[in-house]
Structure 1
């Protein structure tokens, strides 16, 4: 992979993923903001239950927008659909600036959730369709790199400024996205699906520059024509074997991604570090956490097309499982007696960043690469829609239930549950996931859909007696 050769694709990808940086700000915002809202001198008096709703409502509402986002991506293109995602973010931050009570914050989080669902439904589709085969994985991981940048910005700025100042900073990111992304090309796949081959060629030339070759457009055209022979119905996701297999694989990976506890740790980071009493200030610990996230996601973007998807996911799942078990043991000892903790107070400061490193190197980044490449053109938007709705519901369950479980059964119970589910994820990935590193869309689909597309039999040639393989 050569960034110098593919710089045009990377510019488009960086501009597109500014919207996931905006998504990152909405996730990370709660970490420095909840301690302010829950403090005795809070500008907006907030209860613990209300704080859990502030965290989870945004994710819950993100389950609403993937269906319209999927429809719009097919009708008006992934570029215009992504641009629409900026509108809810801008409105959401304006409401935070004006907020004088908790219900206003609820409404801002609900509206921001609409943008979150659109962004994470459409961004993997756009990046997967503009990228060359050799850098598709790295470009898809930019979704996570930019998201982690957004989260880190909240950890670095949030504890030291007012809610108004933080919201003022956050609103600039979706505005910058709109300004830059309007100049970027639409996906050539969209133009081919829409019967505009000339526009598709112009788009591909803008993305490839001097590296443009006519053969790539011909390959895209052939693949789209083959895919579009079938109308992608929702029921095809479960009745067509290859679609069903791809859906099961991604559901299992995203289940592991969410139920390893990642979103709970990110959203409640400052409170978790405060409860852990690990010897470093909660604010500084969060900055360390966010820095590890950002650096690791950048490393993952370089490894995903070199080491492959499956090895990174296995390393990641094993790491988060072990870290969860250790963190759970620490909280258990702290629950039993603070005397046991004096000599091991360093554990949260060491192990939680290890958790974040393990999570970000694979589970946080690689699923987006697989999502962008595993489904045929005619069904991709619907599959991505179903996956994003499922992920939103899983994330909501984790963010809402974590606080409930931690308050009633202890932090250690929550972390041990996360650890057990992470171990199950290791087994699933090991058994179910095929490797897709460096393969074209056509090769990946051939691997998953062979049984539906091909009937192979042998026929004896009457002239020379040779066996002839006939593909139907």
Structure 2
């Protein structure tokens, strides 16, 4: 158990890391306030409704490239470096928006900015779970989502009242703040152990946990080594996710319920899946969500133009109500539980015998 000072460092590190999610919140919120301006008669850069729908949805497809690349990079270059890299495409996006003079430039900027979604969706939840004590893991994840909503709130607050260029330049400062803040924070000790750099892992571990006795340090290292060995020895395959009942049940639960509650998908992926299939199951779940997000964003404009916007929002309402009922009835509680306890509960949970 970490002491007060080390517990504070866990929260500060999580807040600094999660600033990149605030960057992503501004990126994702931009179409909602700016597209109506660009599609208006007095637009500074005239767009059609169809062009606007492509700007709102193309990122769901292009970010898949970064997601799969990031899944490999987190164990090669480290969680921290991957997250720092994620700020670069988001910064480029805002600079391109500030000086965009054509639809093509905006579309290219949108595709580039979406590459920042890879580190956020794959590396950030892993990093937060690895640095946190079990009893504060949920709190750190809340910081992660809270700052994303702050990003949405910022762009919604200034977007309708300032020029497109001014909004872009203001939002471009957030990736810079994230980079300058997070670069000083420790790396995950799990990464150093996987790289056989135990001395550096111990330093990071003691920063996050406080001064440990020899027995406590041995216990922490053995627990991490055990988790790493299980992941290396258990090479999950796609067929395992489909054919093994507990993995299939977990995947169906994640795909959280996420129709109405997509923001917590990455947390579910990180906590519910067994280590042997976490990688492949996360890839499947994220791919489904990306395709679903693209379809939803692209069809929103089509449905709204053809039938009226109220049909779209009633559809969202039904999805959210259904997700609440589904989660309440079938989703296990993960608060204050280790990953081993969560996996054991999923194995013995027969409420969803599919």
Judge same fold: TM > 0.5, yes or no. yes
Do structure 1's residue 421 and structure 2's residue 313 form an aligned pair?
no
Partner of 1:193: 194
- Of the three residues 270, 273, 291, the one matched with 1:372 is 270
The correspondence for 2:247, drawn from 243, 248, 265, is 243
**Offset of residue 240 of structure 1:** 4.1
CA drift at 1:378: 5.1
Q: Which residue number in structure 2 is paired with residue 255 of structure 1?
A: 259
Structure 1: which 5+ residue stretches go unaligned? 259-363, 452-472
Does the 8 Å contact 1:32/1:158 carry over to 2? yes
Structure 2 regions of 5+ residues with no counterpart? 350-354
User: How far, CA to CA, are the matches of 2:82 and 2:199 in structure 1?
Assistant: 22
Q: Distance in 1 between matches of 2:126 and 2:69?
A: 15
1:333 aligned partner: none
Equivalent residues in 2 for 1:62-211, closer than 5 Å: 62-210=63-211
Residue-by-residue CA offset, 1:432-463 (whole Å, 9 max, x unaligned): 31111100122112223469xxxxxxxxxxxx
**Cα offset, 1:235, TM superposition:** 4.2
| 1:389 aligned onto 2:300 | no
CA 1:188–1:384 in 2, change beyond 3 Å: closer, same or farther? farther
- 1:399 has 2:297 as partner: yes
Instruction: Provide Cα deviations, 1:375-434, integer angstroms capped at 9, x if missing partner.
Output: 344543443333322222222222111111111112232223223333432343234311
The question of whether the paired residues in 1 share the 8 Å contact of 2:2 and 2:210 is answered with no
Residue in 2 that maps onto 1:434? 332
Whole-angstrom CA distance in 1 between matches of 2:163 and 2:184: 34
Measure how far apart 1:191 and its partner are. Answer: 2.4
Contact 1:64 1:389 survives alignment (8 Å): no
With the length of structure 2 as denominator, give the TM-score of the two structures: 0.89
Residues 395 and 139 of structure 1: is their aligned pair in 2 closer, same or farther, counting only changes over 3 Å?
same
Distance of aligned partners of 1:196 and 1:244 in 2 relative to their CA distance in 1, 3 Å threshold: farther
SS state of the match for residue 64, structure 2?
A: coil
Which structure is larger by alpha-carbon Rg, 1 or 2? 1
1:209: Cα distance to partner?
2.4
User: 1: distance between equivalents of 2:290 and 2:48?
Assistant: 24
Structure 1 residue 165: Cα displacement = 1.3
* Structure 1 residue 239: Cα displacement: 4.2
Q: Which residue does 1:219 correspond to in 2?
A: 223
Task: Decide whether aligned partners of structure 1 residues 437 and 62 sit closer, same or farther in structure 2, where only a CA change above 3 A counts.
Answer: same
Secondary structure of the 1:74 match is: coil
Contact 2:186–2:204 (Cα < 8 Å) also in 1:
yes
Q: 1:246 to 1:189 in 2, by over 3 A?
A: farther
Once residues 227 and 275 of structure 2 are traced to their aligned partners in structure 1, the CA distance between those partners, rounded to angstroms, is 8
Matches of 1:64 and 1:160 in 2, distance apart?
A: 34
Measured in 2, the distance between the counterparts of 1:211 and 1:256 equals 43
SS of residue in 1 equivalent to 2:260: helix
Question: Who is 1:342 aligned against?
Answer: none
- The CA distance in 2 between the partners of 1:201 and 1:12, in whole Å, is 17
Structure 2 CA distance, aligned partners of 1:186 and 1:449?
32
**Distance of 1:43 and 1:3 partners within structure 2:** 55
> Do the aligned partners of residues 188 and 236 (structure 1) sit closer, same or farther apart at CA in structure 2, a change above 3 Å counting?
farther
The number of equivalent residue pairs is 345
Give the superposition deviation at 1:44.
0.5
Kindly indicate whether the alpha-carbon contact (under 8 Å) linking 1:436 and 1:444 is maintained by their aligned counterparts in 2: yes
Match of 1:231 in 2: 235
Distance 2:130 2:243 in 1: 25
Is the partner of 1:249 in helix, strand or coil?
helix
Change (3 A) 1:168 1:155: same
SS, match of residue 160 in structure 1: coil
CA–CA distance in structure 2, aligned partners of residues 51 and 422 of structure 1: 25
Q: Report if aligned partners of 1:121, 1:385 keep a CA contact under 8 Å in 2.
A: no
